[in-house]
A and B are shown apart, each in its own frame.
Chain A
Amino acid sequence: MTKWIEACGLDDIEPEDVLRFDHGGASFAIYRDPAGAFFATDGLCTHERVHLADGLVMGDQIECPKHNGRFNYKTGAALRAPVCVNLRIYPVRVAGDRVEIGLEETQ
């Protein structure tokens, strides 16, 4: 069952940017695309232990700040070496002026 957790405010992320969100011992990355829609993925790159929230958002891609690996943060697809493993994505919804991330009850 999905549990909705408040991650940040609507204005905390500029369009085409990303924010780190830590919860329950896990780290997530919350994205806002150029059109203003929100998305969420695991916070750490699947290649090495680097937080994606320090990376650059370009359109619908996030670039790892250390190695130039890229993911589509809307689908989680790994797009460019050295990343080979897809990124886990999470549902996101807007409730009032807050952004919520949907996590399984165990998370």
Chain B
Amino acid sequence: MTTLPFVQKRDYSLTGPSARRAVELGLASAEWYHSEVPRKVMKELMQRRDGPALRDTAIWIGLLVLSAAGGIAFWGSWTAVPFFMVYGVLYGSACDSRWHECGHGTAFRTQWMNDVVYHIASFMVMRNPVSWRWSHARHHTDTIIVGRDPEIAFMHPTGILPNLLHFIGILDIWASFKVLLRNAAGILTADERDYIPEREIPKAILAARIHVAIQGAAVVAAIWMGSILPLMLIGGPRIYGCWHMFMTGLIQHGGLAEDVVDHRLNSRTVLMNPISRWIYWNMNYHVEHHMFPMVPYHALPRLHALIKHDLPPANPSIWSAFREMVPAILRQRREPGYYLRRELPPTARPYREEFHTTVPERASMG
């Protein structure tokens, strides 16, 4: 029987030795590599429009209402299952991309529309809308920088079972709800206080209390009715419908480099079918999104076409991304510092080696 070498868990906290080391190495708030895009073109790409997001939001809400109505109408029979399969993904997965794009303020031109959809989607995805806005800002400042980024999905050496359980949301919903309960009680961790300004903390506590009250009302309704139907409609889809969110989310950065300041080395663009792209609001163009986060989701395909000569080739499918990522994740469990180094096309500007030579050094120190 072969035993795997013991690999010490890296310190992924935002207040520990990795955080100090990231600052010392100049990885915090660093200047990142960008592909060249003429200013005039970039201005066009960044322009905001209400039309695409209004259309997509109307379709989203319309389908949510129809699938919920079908699920309620056929509740108690197998006919309800396909309705809840659709409703679950629209609620438990599409909420994530709406939360994300509206949090960036790029979905709609009209800011209050971004804010309304952001708060609804935050509730659906069970994230504190205040603290997650700040955590995601940090994710963009210090993408996959250990000790700085609060949104690293794979913390090495990662466990296999927790990652599989992500697809049915059990661990994630429990973790999310515990955070909301803790925030609602007025408690924020040292990590949360590291990226949330002091003056925003009362807002984070209030938002958590509102979320917990509504989720609690759904639980009370289920008990009162003696049926899980209220939880199938509110909260539950975050368990039975979140698989698409994790399927697309895990491949954003999985298996790629930590502690580099070139998104071509730590993010992955994956070509997908149109339904997944609609659910995911084009976040499959993830390298492009990280390089230019103020380009709205509807302009990302055009941005991809403009800069793909400078990026590693996109994975041609979700399957291809998993086939590449899973062996790398498994290898990272026993080989600290290993990452998938994706080949650039001959037309690309080369990686700057100094951007990633720090990885093995940090892996042994972190």
Contact = CB atoms under 8 A, between A and B. Distances in A.
B137 A63 contact: no
A68 B48 CA distance: 12
A67 B141 contact: yes
Contacts of A82: 133-134, 137
Given A17-B43, A81-B133, A66 B197 contact: no
A56 interface: yes
A23 interface: no
A102 B199 CA distance: 34
Interface residues of A, number: 18
Q: Which 7 A-B pairs have the closest CB atoms?
A: A68-B105, A56-B46, A49-B29, A82-B137, A67-B137, A48-B141, A48-B29
Contacts, number: 46
A43 interface: no
17 contacts: A48-B29, A48-B141, A49-B29, A49-B30, A54-B42, A58-B48, A63-B294, A65-B294, A66-B294, A67-B137, A68-B294, A80-B105, A81-B134, A81-B200, A82-B134, A82-B137, A84-B197
B104 interface: yes
Contact of A66 (B39, B111, B134, B141): B141
Interface in A25-84: 47-50, 54-56, 58, 63, 65-68, 80-82, 84
Contacts of B39: 17
Nearest to B290: A66
A65 B197 contact: no
A52 B312 CA distance: 28
Contacts of A47: 137
A53 to B, nearest CB: 9
Contacts of B137: 47-48, 67, 82
Given A47-B137, A84-B197, A56 B31 contact: no
Contacts of B46: 56, 65
Nearest to B134: A82
Interface string B23-50: 0000001110000000100110011100
B332 interface: no
Contact of B293 (A58, A67, A80, A81): A67
A84 B199 contact: yes
A49 B134 CA distance: 16
B356 to A, nearest CB: 20
B266 interface: no
B154 interface: no
B202 to A, nearest CB: 14
Given A55-B294, A58-B48, 18 more contacts: A17-B39, A48-B141, A49-B29, A49-B31, A54-B42, A56-B46, A63-B105, A63-B294, A65-B292, A66-B293, A67-B137, A67-B140, A67-B141, A68-B104, A68-B105, A80-B105, A80-B111, A81-B200
Contacts of A17: 39, 43
Interface string B1-40: 0000000000000000000000000000111000000010
Contacts of A81: 133-134, 200
Contacts of B42: 54
Nearest to A19: B39
Interface in B30-82: 30-31, 39, 42-43, 46-48
Contacts of B140: 66-67
Contacts of B133: 81-82
B122 interface: no
B106 interface: yes
